[in-house]
Structure 1
Amino acid sequence: MLFVVLLVLASASPARLQTLRNAGVEPVVIVSGVDESQLDGLPPAELALQLAELKCAAVAARDDLPEDALVLGCDSVLELDGEALGKPLEPSEAERRWKAMRGRTGVLRTGHCLRETASGRVAAATASTTVHFAEVSDAEIAAYVATGEPLHVAGAFTVDGLGGAFVTGIEGDHHNVVGVSLPLVRELVAELGREWTSLWSR
């Protein structure tokens, strides 16, 4: 019987939490509180990775964590025309984004950082998934933005919610678009000398 390793998710994302739960992992959620605007200007892949590292480090620095836990920090941005698009927050910005994205292709970059609390060892990498957007109408964009869903997610869209009908295809890991690449996390867990299956809740 494997010893179950506790995973601490340094993210407030309900989609990341649900993805991990669906994969048999029941993490403890501790929100990092990191200011995501502090690294503006970096290339998208680097921005996503550095924000993931900051979130992971902020939570791992707490003195109330179990001694033998793994802390996972993640951050996602959509790369379009070389620009990193995070959460739009304002409806007008979400509408502008969608008018620029429709009928086009972007790359969803998710930085992942995994830290072992006992040793302080870190494994980190960025996963990238190509996303093809439908040629949606102005009316569809307005209706979607009015739901509020795109205001709180990187790139102003979801693939596992209302926005799924506006994504015509993806190339790469589907889970990465939701917010956490399960295959990549498995690789990072192995890099730290652990078994992915040891994270399964029992």
Structure 2
Amino acid sequence: MQTDFSPRLVLASASPARRALLSAAGIDVEVLVSGVDESTVEAADAAELCLSLARMKARAVAATLSADPGVLVLGCDSVLAFDGEILGKPHTPAEAVKRWCAMRGRSGVLHTGHHLTDLTTGKQAEDVGATVVHFADLTDGEIEAYVASGEPLHVAGAFTIDGKGGAFVERIEGDAGNVIGLSLPLLRRLLMTFGVTIPQLWRTSRKEDA
């Protein structure tokens, strides 16, 4: 792509956290939910699963769009690898409590798959970010209160670091954004394979080009 051209980024995800990350980085995105049934996908490990889901989401949304110049579709998905298991969203309070009782005082690896598709050329690029998460040794009361808040029911691994769950993560090793759901450094590397830079996506750049 031309360096003076401002691409349009479409996020194939319903996650408000991913959109917030991009917005905080100065990037406006159009959000289109893929509708992919995640329960039908199986994989041998966490990295393979999250990348497969990210790819499916991006391709599903890309199939609904016309191939306008400069349109890039980004699909992302996150899962937690913990104690030999692959953990997505718990969905039920009982499952969330069970997970936290096992995770407290221990660590897991949060994997986020990223898949980027250029609608004009059909070119695709993808990669997985991995961040080690060390959980605090929560009391039973803290687990019950956190699960009752509803937050852990709808996020991979039953936790977040950008909400109430931030108090329950002692430290991480790696990219914090990856844990939230989208690694900006990884996105930068994927964009560069298309000849696109992060500054081209900044809102200020778009206004100046106009």
TM-score normalised by length of structure 2? 0.93
Aligned residues: 202
Structure 1, residues 171-194: CA drift from partner, whole Å, max 9, x if none?
000100000000000000001121
How far, CA to CA, are the matches of 1:150 and 1:82 in structure 2? Answer: 20
Name the SS for the 1:145 alignment partner.
helix
Structure 1, residues 134-177: CA drift from partner, whole Å, max 9, x if none?
00011100000000000000000000100000000000001000
Asked if the contact 1:34–1:58 (Cα under 8 Å) also holds between the matched residues in 2, the reply is yes
Asked if the contact 2:6–2:70 (Cα under 8 Å) also holds between the matched residues in 1, the reply is no
Aligned to 1:172: 174
1:197 and 2:194 aligned: no
How far, CA to CA, are the matches of 1:113 and 1:21 in structure 2? Answer: 19
Aligned to 2:105: 103
Asked if the contact 2:77–2:181 (Cα under 8 Å) also holds between the matched residues in 1, the reply is yes
Asked if the contact 1:43–1:82 (Cα under 8 Å) also holds between the matched residues in 2, the reply is no
Letter paired with 1:149: E
- In the alignment, structure 1 segments of 5+ residues that lack a partner are none
Q: 1:183 aligns with which of 178, 182, 185?
A: 185
> What value does the CA root-mean-square deviation take over the aligned residues?
1.2
Aligned to 1:132: 134
CA shift, 1:62, in A, is 1.1
Aligned to 2:27: 25
Name the SS for the 2:185 alignment partner.
helix
Structure 1, residues 30-59: CA drift from partner, whole Å, max 9, x if none?
000001111134311100000000000001
Larger deviation: 34-43 or 163-172?
Answer: 34-43
How far, CA to CA, are the matches of 1:4 and 1:63 in structure 2? Answer: 18
1:71 and 2:70 aligned: no
Aligned to 1:145: 147
CA shift, 1:195, in A, is 1.3
Asked if the contact 1:124–1:188 (Cα under 8 Å) also holds between the matched residues in 2, the reply is yes
Aligned to 1:50: 52
TM-score normalised by length of structure 1? 0.97
Asked if the contact 1:44–1:82 (Cα under 8 Å) also holds between the matched residues in 2, the reply is no
CA shift, 1:84, in A, is 1.0
Q: Aligned residues: percent identity?
A: 56
Name the SS for the 2:203 alignment partner.
coil
Asked if the contact 2:67–2:120 (Cα under 8 Å) also holds between the matched residues in 1, the reply is no
How far, CA to CA, are the matches of 2:133 and 2:10 in structure 1? Answer: 29
How far, CA to CA, are the matches of 2:90 and 2:121 in structure 1? Answer: 37
